[in-house]
A and B are shown apart, each in its own frame.
Chain A
Amino acid sequence: MALAYQATRGCRALWLDSAVPEKNNSSLARTKGTPTSVPPILEAHQLTKRFGDFDAVKGIDLSIDRGESFGFLGPNGAGKTSTMRMISAVSRPSSGTLRIFGLDPTTSGPEIRARLGVVPQEDTLELELSVRKNLEMFARYFDLPRRVARERASELLAFAQLSEREHDKVDNLSGGMKRRLTIARALINRPDLLILDEPTTGLDPQARHLLWERLYRLKRDGVTLIITTHYMDEAEQLCDRLVVMDHGTIVAEGAPRALIERHSTREVLELRFSVDDHAQFDNLFSDVAERVEVLPDRILLYVDHGDAALQKVHDLGLTPTSALVRRSSLEDVFLRLTGRTLVE
């Protein structure tokens, strides 16, 4: 699949192939600010989406390079899906500018969409049809000749590990299989940019890991990926760079590791005491940690050295029933930036 994928991508016209060095090149994993002569694959300035009085996306700026894996994190209602629909050249921005492949989606929507692969939050498959037919029929939307559609369907079925099930009705597939089929379908036109909205939500760990492995393979083949996710481990696994969105704006941007360094400490010490409410420990640890978060069931101390901090806690004469030292994660950053309040 990987080879076939690359072979035909060579025929793509426009500026992309002439200007970009071959794939599987480490320079593809660029971070923002790296000087480059290649225009970004996607660029947005003050991008806004308004529904009546409600501003779903409030003037965000983005620049995504070719070959990059770019993530959107954010709680429900943060504006991720509205952003994804705009950058899929489906929904029209209310204001601001957007360029995809250097083209304006308000005037070149069909041309842009011909080069995109979109994996929506819901699978949107034809449940009554066979696995193979779902791919072949979708290929016709891109005006691919029937023979090409058949060949690509076979390649993609192998890629998605669905060759054995090609004649089964989609209705009979497991959730993970449907998801893989949706991703395979999004690749039928050999897109330059693959947009995935919560690709692994609702899947079991085995299915998630298989999907990650497939997405990683695409990334290695030079496909630009844009991913929204609720899963921090997924973002850390797949994204070179990401933004955290909240209330329609971008509240942080950077590589996962850099975000952790910037917005959290190296380690976190989690303490539990045998009390009903941990609120009584408020203010007690201000000398021990850079930042203290008191939750109903535990206390989080953001520190550079967890073991040393635990020693200080013992020195204060306190004996927690449990103490855990762990590395700071993207989840800590996410919760710090977007808050712990439940969004529904």
Chain B
Amino acid sequence: MEPRISPAQGWSRGRRSWWYHASFYTQTWRGSAASTILFPFLYLTSLGVGVGHLVQRHTGLVQGQTYLHYIAPSLLATTAMTMGESESLWPVLASVKWLKTYHAAVATPLSPVDVLVGKLSWVTTKTFATSVIYTVAISLFGATRSWWALTLPFIGALVALAFSAPLVAYAAGAESDASFTTIYRFAFIPMFLFSATFFPIASYPRVLRPLVQLFPLYHGVALARAAAFGQGSLPAISVHLAVLVAMVLVGLWWGRRTMTRRLVD
């Protein structure tokens, strides 16, 4: 039901939806904010320092880094993925089906696309802010070696958006949350564990390596690691970026369809 609009109108309405999502968060953040700040330190301490101590004793350095430094950037990327995912499945189904608050939103000057843009830009903002905290945390542990580390918050935001966009699209078209747990168990948990997150791709059997490279998170982790250490080849980085950007674009295209069908058709 939307005519072509000017960029200024689109910006104004997307901003209103962003603001709505942001103020919803500020009204309900208390439980989650403390854990957002604490988690990086807890993870780095238990995995980086604890498990790292064992790794150090048995294998020494991992790709020229201590184990703590090796996993620090991947924790940033996996946290971004988890945040993108947790904001996108159940909350979106609640908004389109259970509480129908998105239906209320499209009864105002906003269109389904404005709601989608507001939602995704809020997820991006939130993971950017969290990634800033992560970047500071891993820097305090000495895990950043390059000025490129300043791009880590952007990488975190991109990773979150790359997961959030298709998942929002999927949830907006879903009839129930039955499939969500399956997605979580069979897509996210394996991806979390096997995206060269906790051990290098070289330690996987040769036949499995291409499979690992199919995981989108693998590209997020590789990108974060390249930024933290200031290492990486341009072609490799381009591929990682292209995969994540492609997921965002597919998610936007798909989300526009499912949100429109769900809310206004």
Taking Cβ atoms with an 8 Å cutoff, the residues of A that contact B are 85, 88-92, 105-111, 113-114, 116, 118, 120, 122, 124-130, 133, 137-138, 140-143, 185, 189
Contact = CB atoms under 8 A, between A and B. Distances in A.
A283 B109 CA distance: 59
A165 B115 CA distance: 29
Contact of B20 (A106, A109, A130, A140): A140
Interface in B10-34: 12-13, 16-17, 19-20, 23-24, 27-28
Interface string B81-121: 00000000000000000011101111111110000000000
B101 A124 contact: yes
A109 B107 contact: no
A126 B111 CA distance: 19
8 contacts: A91-B265, A114-B108, A118-B104, A120-B104, A128-B24, A138-B104, A140-B19, A189-B108
B100 A122 contact: yes
Nearest to A189: B108
A138 B99 contact: no
Nearest to A127: B99
B175 interface: no
Contact of A109 (B17, B105, B111): B111
Contacts of B100: 120, 122, 124
Contacts of A109: 1-3, 109, 111
A124 B103 contact: yes
B27 A142 contact: no
Given A133-B27, A137-B23, A140-B20, A105 B1 contact: yes
B264 interface: yes
B16 A126 contact: no
B19 A110 contact: no
Contacts of B107: 88, 90, 113, 116, 118, 120
B3 A108 contact: yes
Interface of B: 1-3, 5, 9, 12-13, 16-17, 19-20, 23-24, 27-28, 99-101, 103-111, 263-265
A10 to B, nearest CB: 21
B171 to A, nearest CB: 17
Contacts of B19: 140
A110 B109 contact: yes
Contact of A91 (B12, B16, B264): B264
B109 A124 contact: no
A105 B107 CA distance: 12
B200 to A, nearest CB: 43
Contacts of A185: 104
A133 to B, nearest CB: 6
B264 A141 contact: no
Return the 7 tightest CB-CB contacts between A and B, nearest first.
A141-B108, A110-B109, A118-B107, A124-B104, A124-B100, A107-B3, A109-B1
A141 B20 contact: yes
Given A90-B263, A108-B3, A140-B19, 7 more contacts: A91-B264, A110-B111, A113-B109, A118-B104, A120-B107, A137-B20, A143-B12
Contacts of B2: 109-110
B1 A91 contact: yes
Nearest to A92: B1
Contacts of B111: 109-110
Given A120-B104, A124-B101, A106 B1 contact: yes
Contacts of A116: 107
Given A89-B1, A109-B1, A142 B99 contact: no
Q: Interface centre among A124, A129, A137, A141, by most B CB within 10 Å? A: A141
Contact of A141 (B5, B27, B110, B265): B110
Contacts of B27: 128-130, 133
A90 B23 contact: no
Contacts of A107: 3
A93 to B, nearest CB: 9
A114 B16 CA distance: 13
B1 A125 contact: no
Nearest to A195: B107
A196 to B, nearest CB: 12
B108 A124 contact: no
Nearest to A88: B107
Given A105-B1, A137-B23, A141-B16, A113 B104 contact: no
Contacts of B106: 90
A106 B264 CA distance: 12
A105 B2 CA distance: 9
A120 B263 CA distance: 13
B99 A126 contact: yes
A295 B254 CA distance: 54
Contact of A128 (B17, B20, B28, B263): B28
A142 B107 CA distance: 11
Given A106-B1, A109-B1, A128-B28, A142 B101 contact: no
Contact of B109 (A88, A91, A126, A141): A141
Contacts of A137: 20, 23-24
A118 B105 CA distance: 10
Contacts of B103: 120, 124
B251 to A, nearest CB: 24
Contacts of A120: 100, 103-104, 107
